[in-house]
Amino acid sequence: MGQNGSGPNGTRNSGPRCIALVGPFQSGKTTLLEAILARTGAVQRQGTVDAGTTVGDASKEARHHKMSVEATFATTTFMGDNYTFVDCPGSIEFIQDMRSVLPAVDAAVVVCEADEKKVPQLQLILRELEDQNIPRFLFLNKIDKADKRVRETIKLLQPASRVPLLLRQIPIWNGDIISGFVDLALERAYVYKEHAPSEIIELNGENLDRKKEARFTMLETLADHDDQLMEQLLEDIEPPRDKVFDDLSKELRDRIVCPVLLGVATRTNGVLRLLKALRHEAPGAGETAQRLGVKAGTDAVALVLKTFHTTHGGKMSVARLLAGQAGDGTTLTTGGGGTGRVSGVFKLMGQHFEKRGQAASGETVAFGKLDGAKTGDTLSSGKQPHAAMVEIKPSPPVLAIAVQAKERKDDVKLGPAFTKLMEEDPSLTVVHNAENHEVVIWGQGEMHLRVAAERLAERFVVPVSTHPPSVGYRETIRKPISQRGRHKKQSGGHGQFGDVVLEIKPLPRGTGFKFEDRITGGVVPRNYIPAVEEGVVDALKHGPLGFPVVDLAVALIDGSYHTVDSSDQAFRTAGRIGISEGLPQCQPVLLEPIHHVEIVCPSEATAKMNAILSGRRGQILGFDTRENWDGWDTVRAQMPEAEIGDLIIEVRSATAGVGSFIFKFDHMAELTGRTADQIIAARRAAE
């Protein structure tokens, strides 16, 4: 096998690894990273999330909210091998960082709790891993708080996984608390020690029987994909320990089982066994490179997992090297086809970047100042760019805020800050609305946008104020009229004269605006007609209700001119006057944008979604089971844009954080009555 490949039958992988820590919100991933770093000696003392002393969550935003808001990388050494762990945020709003990291990891550790409410989130995360073919362990954390048998917990969690959850450790109970565990593959029992390796003990009595039964269940599951093992079990032959380990490793790598380990991250319990399982059973960089279709050779090939803009070091591209070597000065082609020179290679420890030497295949490092590189890019040192390894699409945005610099003098800094913000987090998009000059950030939820605003202030030093973005209201007319627009000014010598008669009439919804020239006999000279149209268009930007006017036709049907005083300017003004005096008589009416919305949610929440949609003036079109998603539904509706504004907040709270939606503009609809009056009054007040 290759340099990082696994040998056949039991030879473990060597070489650098990259392992993602993922899992539902607040399950203990950052704490587990801390425990791993303490256990492997990378930190002196295990920090805690509550005290704000962990390597993960070191940014101001993460500390402030006591939750992970971006991926954290930390490289350590365990038994001579180099490991980079990536602590991913659990909240669905920050899922993008996990998505960008997953393709390049050898395996993921899914940290979870025995909590029924978090099963939908677990399912969501396992789905990402399943879709990307990532081998995965489950680390059942917080078992110091366990109140049910572990087998019941597995039953509870199993529906979230498409492959069997394979219990390979069982707890030893001491009254109501778990005091240790039995490793079913090693057939060894341990008692937990706080912040110290567990101690081996002798099993007897009831515990011994429970172990035998649980081990048999584990072997039975493994035997589903191993006929020889099945025969041994049927004939009551005890399979050799190596064979069991080989099977565990093979079935993990083939992603047909998900082994489950137990632990308490806060007390460093179960962490050593987790590390040993990763060491012996997880695939290495060789297999990962194969999965990604990396061309073997001497060229360096790397995938960019995350981009940071540091205050002092500039841009850092965290990348996993999947082939070759790269050091200071190496020229790499980036995703866009450009090239960049690596300016410094860094080892990562949370927010801390430490300069180091050349990186070898399999290592995860940060490359300094690769300006053209973006997260998701395939980097290569070859003459020809390497084919892109992955295409990572951010989830469509669901919530927006309008932002502006708190101080005018910072306006010029906003553009570059937005660029950095989006480079660090591709699931944020910034849109400039030319019509009302609003700058709107679109993102994945309330916290996501709050953190984006904090990051602008903290990391990029542009304090911003935020407000809800305006809704794209329009207005139209219901009644046709003819209206004269006359502009006449006589001041001293040269005067101004323009005179037009406009026929204004409604058009069907969605037609927009049409201008027609129906002048006969040259009563308005040809060369002034474009100016009349300009004046009309200008006046339509702001109708009698305060909004742009659409779906109407304006025809120039009559008028007069003056040989000396008429000008483009005068006819422009005449056109404008005709419209602003005419429209109020045309029965103006407000139009609001209606979108087609598709909500996805676990089926238990479907009834609640219907209620939420109806409560927000939505018209439900129907619901179906969600394709390829067991236990989920898709609810379709039409809904006013104004009501979609904060819809996600309600959807998330009704679905334990996992529901989401996509929306697309459908049509404009007339809005009358109280709601319309309030919108018009608010607009007048704002002017």
Ligand X SMILES: Nc1nc2c(ncn2[C@@H]2O[C@H](COP(=O)(O)OP(=O)(O)OP(=O)(O)O)[C@@H](O)[C@H]2O)c(=O)[nH]1
* Rounded least distance, CB 32 to ligand X, Å: 7
Place of tokens 């949609």: 613
- Give the distance from CA 341 to its chain's centroid: 29
177 interacts with ligand X by CB under 6 A? no
Q: Which of residues 97-116 bind ligand X (CB under 6 A)?
A: 111
**Given candidates 4, 6, 30, 82, which one binds Mg ion under the rule CB under 5 A?**
30
DSSP 545-611: TSS-B-SEEEEEEEEE--TTT--HHHHHHHHHHHHHHHGGGG-EEEEEEEEEEEEEEEGGGHHHHHH
> Are 122 and 141 in contact, with CB atoms under 8 Å apart?
no
**Given candidates 75, 82, 266, 375, which one binds ligand X under the rule CB under 6 A?**
266
Considering beta carbons, is residue 56 or 259 the nearer one to Mg ion? 56
- Specify the stretch interacting with ligand X by CB under 6 A; choose among 261-269, 351-359, 530-538, 605-613: 261-269
Considering beta carbons, is residue 262 or 680 the nearer one to ligand X? 262
444 interacts with ligand X by CB under 6 A? no
67 interacts with ligand X by CB under 6 A? yes
Could you give the CA distance from residue 48 to residue 264 in angstroms, rounded to a whole number?
13
- Specify the stretch interacting with Mg ion by CB under 5 A; choose among 67-75, 234-242, 301-309, 611-619: 67-75
Q: Give the tokens for residue 345.
A: 């290679």
Alpha helices in 402-488 (DSSP H): 411-424, 446-458
> Are 283 and 6 in contact, with CB atoms under 8 Å apart?
yes
25 interacts with ligand X by CB under 6 A? yes
**Nearest-CB residue for ligand X:** 90
26 interacts with ligand X by CB under 6 A? yes
142 interacts with ligand X by CB under 6 A? yes
DSSP 480-494: -EEEEEEEEE--SSS
- Specify the stretch interacting with ligand X by CB under 6 A; choose among 220-228, 262-270, 585-593, 617-625: 262-270
Considering beta carbons, is residue 61 or 475 the nearer one to ligand X? 61
Could you give the CA distance from residue 687 to residue 680 in angstroms, rounded to a whole number?
11
**Given candidates 68, 91, 153, 268, which one binds Mg ion under the rule CB under 5 A?**
68
Could you give the CA distance from residue 362 to residue 323 in angstroms, rounded to a whole number?
7
| DSSP state at residue 326 | B
141 interacts with ligand X by CB under 6 A? yes
Considering beta carbons, is residue 146 or 360 the nearer one to ligand X? 146
**Given candidates 19, 20, 29, 459, which one binds Mg ion under the rule CB under 5 A?**
29
H-helix or E-strand spanning residue 332: strand 331-333
- Specify the stretch interacting with ligand X by CB under 6 A; choose among 44-52, 503-511, 520-528, 644-652: 44-52
Q: Which of residues 520-579 bind Mg ion (CB under 5 A)?
A: none
Task: Report how many residues bind Mg ion under the rule CB under 5 A.
Answer: 3
Alpha helices in 303-389 (DSSP H): none
Percent of the chain as helix, strand, coil, to the nearest 5: 30, 30, 35
Considering beta carbons, is residue 21 or 680 the nearer one to ligand X? 21
Interface contacts to ligand X, rule CB under 6 A: 25-31, 48-50, 67-68, 89-91, 111, 141-142, 144-145, 264-266
Interface contacts to Mg ion, rule CB under 5 A: 29-30, 68
